[in-house]
Amino acid sequence: MAIKKIISYGDETLRKKSKEVSKISKKIQTLVHDLLDTMYAKNGVGLAAPQIGENLRVFVIDVSTNNEPLNPIVFINPKIIKKSGAVNSYEGCLSFPEAYTNVRRYKNVMVKALDIHGKPFVKEATDGCLLARAIQHEFDHLDGILFIDHCRNIEEANKILEEKGLQHVDESRLIQEEELEKEIQENPVELPQDEE
């Protein structure tokens, strides 16, 4: 168990597609603990294995607040089995220190994964809650997709990236999300912005 160095935006490791875990070995359990230790040390809501240099399909999330007990959720080989609706999500990422921007996300998701013991579970997160958005953010990391690929406003995203000394949005990686954009504009959902 250790606090690992978080890989920053610009490193190709973040753009690689991660491999499925074939066996919940000691190595995977150590990876999970390292992810949790590193996420808590950096006050993050979630962290995916590629962010600490392991291109494996594993991520962790904890959406508990300061006055609640810790509530880590471990996702190994996750599959998003249902998604619907759309919300604007004001997001950051531990690989992009202090750079936040508005992105499009599904409002509701259902994910199937294995826990740290290899036991399958299903988790549903609705109403654009932090967990729903974090699942999508972390899941993307496993496919080499970054939150800025979902940005709603390139100029806004580039401005903050530039301020933080980070590379601009790679426009060739932007994800086409006309349906989500339309839904966000037609049915705006007010979400608190202070939790990330």
Catalytic residues: 138
Residues whose CB is less than 8 angstroms from the CB of residue 161 and which lie 6 or more positions away in sequence, other chains included: 96, 99, 148, 167, 168, 169
> Cβ distance 189 to 128 under 8 Å?
yes
Question: For residue 38, what are the CA distances in angstroms to 96, 143, 183?
Answer: 15, 21, 35
Kindly indicate which of the ranges 90-98, 104-112, 124-132, 157-165 contains the residues binding Zn ion, using the contact rule CB under 5 A. Answer: 90-98
Kindly state the tokens that stand for 63: 């959406």
Kindly state the tokens that stand for 83: 């998604």
Q: Which of 93, 145, 161, 166 binds Zn ion (CB under 5 A)?
A: 93
Nearest distance in Å: CB 117, Zn ion? 25
The torsion angle over the Cα atoms of residues 84, 184, 188 and 85, rounded to 10 degrees, is 0
Nearest distance in Å: CB 3, Zn ion? 17
**x/- letters, 8..37, toward Zn ion (CB under 5 A):** ------------------------------
Q: Which is nearer to Zn ion, 8 or 29 (CB)?
A: 8
User: According to the binding rule CB under 5 A, does residue 166 interact with Zn ion?
Assistant: no
Nearest distance in Å: CB 143, Zn ion? 12
User: According to the binding rule CB under 5 A, does residue 86 interact with Zn ion?
Assistant: no
76 closest CA partner among 128, 6, 39, 25: 25
Residues that bind Zn ion (CB under 5 A): 93
